[in-house]
DNA sequence: TGTATGGTGCTGTCTATACAGGTTGCGTGT
DNA sequence: ACACGCAACCTGTATAGACAGCACCATACA
C-alpha cells in the first residue's frame, strides 16, 4: 500500500503538545480519517511497520492504538493480512430521541417550559475534554410542563466547542433538543436508564414528594464532530413512561 | 499488602499448557478470584510489581491484563494508589433482549433463580385472545439472583397456543427467556419502562424496602406466529440500570 | 501545632527487540 | 499445467528497561 506518510505525520504532530498519550493521538488521527470518509469502508490501513516508520514511534504503541480501535469496532484486523476499516452496520433505534413538546401536543395537551438556569460553568469531570480541549461547559436546567403539571426536569451540559451560540438561545420558544438537533445533527446516542428517588431540589422543582420514584435518563449524543451534549432527564414515575420497540 | 504468591502462581501455571496468552491467563486468575468472592469488593489487588515477581512475567503483560480488567469494569485503578476490585452494579443492555444469566456471569458473578409459581391460569385481560382464541394463559413467576442478591422479579405470561410445552420446562437450569428464544424466535419486541414503587409482595420477594424505587419493564415479544409472551420485569433501582445506544 | 518537603510505592506510558503464527504470492521442480 | 516449498509481510504476544505523574506518609522545620 502506498501511504501518504507526510500528511499522516503532520496530523499526528498537530495533536501533540499537550499531555495526550501517543497511542490516543494515533487513534484520533485514524478515526478522524475514517469518520470523514477519507478512508472508506473496507480500505486497507497502513501496516504497523509503516506507521512506525511514518510517525517515528515504537511498534508497541502503534499496536495498542490499532488494537483498541479494533476492540471498539472501528477497524478489523487479521493476522498475516492487515488492518482494514470496518464495514458499518445499521442498528435500529429502540428509543428515538423524540421531542417532548411534540409528545405532549400529540396527547392533546399544552407544553411549556420554565428556565431555571443557563450559564457557562467550570466542569468538574470535563465530559468534553477529549473533544474540545477545554474545561468549560454550557449548562441549562429546564422544567417541562404538560398543561400545568411538571413532567420532566432537564439538566443539560453542552459542548461549547461544538455549539458556541448555545447561551444566546431563547429556550422559552424552542427546546434545547430542538435547537441542538438543528445545529448538530446527531450520529450516535447512548442511554442509561435508572429508577431513583429525587433529590430534595429535584422534588421541589417538579412539585412532587421526595419519596416518589423517578425515571432518570442520562443521554449522551454525538454529532460527526464529537460529543455534543450530555443530559440528565428526571421524570416523576407517576407521570411518565418510556415506550419503544423494534423488529428483528 | 501481603500476597499469597504461591497459590497465585499455582493457579496461573495451571492455566498454561495450551496456547492461551499470558495476559489472558492473568485476567482469568484474577477474575476467578473476584467471581468466587475470594477477593471481595473494594479489596486491594497485588500491585503490578508484586504480580511480576510472583508470576515471573514482564510488567507490560501484567499491565495489559489489569488494564483490560479495568476497561471491562471488573477492577478500578488509580494512579499512585493501586488496583481494587470494583463495586459492582448491575447494568443491562437496553437494545438487545439478552439473557440475564449471561449478563450476571459476564460480570463475574453467579446467577441463580427461585421459582415462585408456574401454572396455567384464567386470563383476566386475555392478552393472547386475538392470537389463540383462548382465555387460558401460562404464567411463571421467577426471582433472579446475582450471587445472593435478588436483582429481578420476572412475572411472565406465555401464549399456550404457541408454546404448549411451557409448563413442563425446568426453569432451575435454564431461564424462560432461554427456552422461549429457542422454541419461538422473536421477530418483534415492544417495551414500556416505568419507575414505580414495588408492591408489598414484590418488595418481599426481592428483599427490599417497599419505598425503594424500582425499574419496571413490560416487554411483549412476538414470533412469526404471533404474540408469544408478555413479561413484567421489576428491578430494584439501587441494584440495576439499563444501558443502550444506537448509531444513526 | 501547623506547614513544607522529600521518599516511597503505585499506575501510565513508551521504547527497542524478539519470537511466534498466519497469509499471500512467487518461483522452482516435476 | 500443477503442486510444493519458501520468502516476504502481516499481526499477536512477550520482554526488560526507562521515565513521568500522582498519592500517601513520615520526617524535618518554622
Taking the CA of residue B80 and the C1' sugar atom of nucleotide D30, their distance in angstroms comes to 29
Say if residues B159 and B128 touch (Cβ distance below 8 Å): yes
Say if residue A124's pLDDT is above 90: no
CA distance A237 to chain B (A): 5
* Closest C-alpha among A214, A210, A176 to residue A193: A214
Confidence class for position B123, pLDDT limits 50, 70, 90: low
Residues 132-191 of chain A sitting with CB below 7 angstroms of strand D = none
Question: Which nucleotides of chain C does any protein CB come within 7 A of?
Answer: 9-18, 21-24
Q: What is the pLDDT of residue B154?
A: 93
- Best of B64, B153, B235, B247 to mutate (most A CBs within 10 Å, chain A): B247
Which of A28-32, A123-127, B87-91: highest mean pLDDT?
Answer: A28-32
The confidence score (pLDDT) of residue A140 equals 93
Residues of chain A positioned with their CB less than 8 A from the CB of B213:
195-197, 213-214, 237
Q: Which of residues 45-104 of B touch A (CB under 8 A)?
A: 60, 94-95
Query: Phi/psi at A158 (nearest 5 deg)?
Result: -125, 140
pLDDT tens sequence across B56-67: 999 999 999 999
State how far residue A2 is from chain B, nearest Cα, in angstroms: 32
Amino acid B188: pLDDT: 74
Residues of A in Cβ contact (< 8 Å) with B192: 241-243
- Distance between CA atoms of residues A57 and A188, nearest Å: 32
- Is residue B17 pLDDT above 80, yes or no? no
CA-wise closest residue to B140 among B164, B163, B104, B166:
B166
**Grid cell digits, residue B141:** 413467576
Q: Select the residue from B23, B92, B248 to test the A interface by mutation, using most A Cβ atoms within 10 A.
A: B248
Indicate yes or no: strand C within 7 A of the C-beta of B83.
yes
Residues B65, A128: Cα–Cα separation, whole Å: 28
- Note whether B192 and B217 are within 8 A (CB): yes
Give how far Cα A160 sits from Cα of A134, B88, B114, Å.
9, 34, 51
Q: Strand D positions with any atom < 7 Å from protein CB?
A: 9-18, 21-24
Among A30, A38, A36, which residue's Cα sits nearest to residue A75?
A30
- Tell me, what's the pLDDT at A3? 61
CA angle A40, A44, A50 (to 5 degrees): 130
- Point out the residue nearest to C23 (C-alpha to C1'): A80
Hey, what domains does chain B have and what are their CATH numbers? 5-85 (1.10.10.10), 92-243 (3.40.1410.10)
pLDDT at B136 over 60: yes
CA-to-C1' distance for B29 and D8, Å? 38
Pairing of strands B214-223, B186-196: antiparallel
- Scanning every strand, the nucleotide with its C1' closest to B80's CA turns out to be C10
Compare CB distances from B189 to A189, A240, A246 and report the shortest one's residue.
A246
Residues B127-135 have a mean pLDDT of: 56
**pLDDT at position A141:** 94
Is any Cβ of chain A less than 8 angstroms from the Cβ of B194?
yes
- Which of residues A53 and B91 earns the better pLDDT score? A53
What are the chain B neighbours of A190 within 8 Å (beta carbons)?
A: 243-245
| Contact (CB<8Å) A195/B247 | no
Given this model, what pLDDT does residue B59 score?
93
Say how far B5 CA is from C26 C1', in Å. Answer: 52
Predicted local confidence at residue A94, as pLDDT: 45
**A53 CB-to-strand D distance under 7 Å:** no
pLDDT tens-digit series, residues B78-111? 998 999 998 765 555 444 445 677 777 777 678 8
Rounded to the nearest 10 degrees, how much is the dihedral formed by the CA atoms of A27, A32, A34, A38?
-130
**Tens-digit pLDDT profile for residues A62-115:** 999 999 999 877 899 999 899 999 876 433 344 555 667 777 777 777 888 999
Q: Is the CB of A79 under 7 A from strand C?
A: yes
**Cα dihedral sign for B62, B64, B70, B72?**
negative
Q: Confirm whether any atom of chain C, the nucleic acid strand, is less than 7 Å from CB of B130.
A: no
This complex has an ipTM of 0.57
pLDDT of B90 reads 53
Q: Do B246 and A215 touch (CB under 8 A)?
A: no
The per-residue pLDDT for A60 is 95
Amino acid at each position: 500500500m502506498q501511504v501518504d506518510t507526510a500528511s499522516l505525520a503532520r496530523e499526528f504532530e498537530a495533536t501533540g503538545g499537550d499531555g495526550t498519550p501517543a497511542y490516543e493521538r494515533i487513534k484520533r488521527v485514524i478515526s478522524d480519517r475514517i469518520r470523514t470518509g477519507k478512508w472508506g469502508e473496507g480500505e486497507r490501513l497502513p501496516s504497523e511497520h509503516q506507521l512506525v516508520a511514518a510517525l517515528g514511534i515504537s511498534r508497541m504503541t502503534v499496536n495498542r492504538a490499532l488494537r483498541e480501535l479494533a476492540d471498539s469496532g472501528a477497524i478489523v484486523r487479521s493476522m498475516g493480512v492487515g488492518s482494514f476499516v470496518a464495514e458499518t452496520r445499521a442498528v435500529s433505534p429502540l428509543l428515538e430521541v423524540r421531542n417532548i413538546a411534540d409528545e405532549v401536543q400529540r396527547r392533546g395537551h399544552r407544553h411549556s417550559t420554565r428556565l431555571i438556569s443557563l450559564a457557562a460553568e467550570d466542569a468538574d469531570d470535563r465530559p468534553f475534554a477529549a473533544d474540545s480541549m477545554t474545561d468549560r461547559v454550557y449548562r441549562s436546567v429546564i422544567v417541562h410542563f404538560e398543561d400545568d403539571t411538571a413532567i420532566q426536569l432537564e439538566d443539560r451540559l453542552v459542548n461549547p466547542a461544538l455549539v458556541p451560540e448555545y447561551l444566546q438561545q431563547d429556550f422559552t420558544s424552542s427546546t434545547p433538543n430542538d435547537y441542538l438537533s438543528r445545529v448538530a445533527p446527531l450520529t450516535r446516542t447512548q442511554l442509561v436508564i435508572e429508577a431513583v428517588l429525587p433529590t430534595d431540589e429535584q422534588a421541589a422543582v417538579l412539585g412532587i414528594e421526595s419519596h416518589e420514584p423517578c425515571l432518570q435518563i442520562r443521554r449522551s449524543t454525538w454529532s460527526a464532530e464529537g460529543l455534543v451534549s450530555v443530559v440528565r432527564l428526571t421524570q416523576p414515575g407517576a407521570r411518565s413512561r418510556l415506550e419503544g420497540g423494534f423488529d428483528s
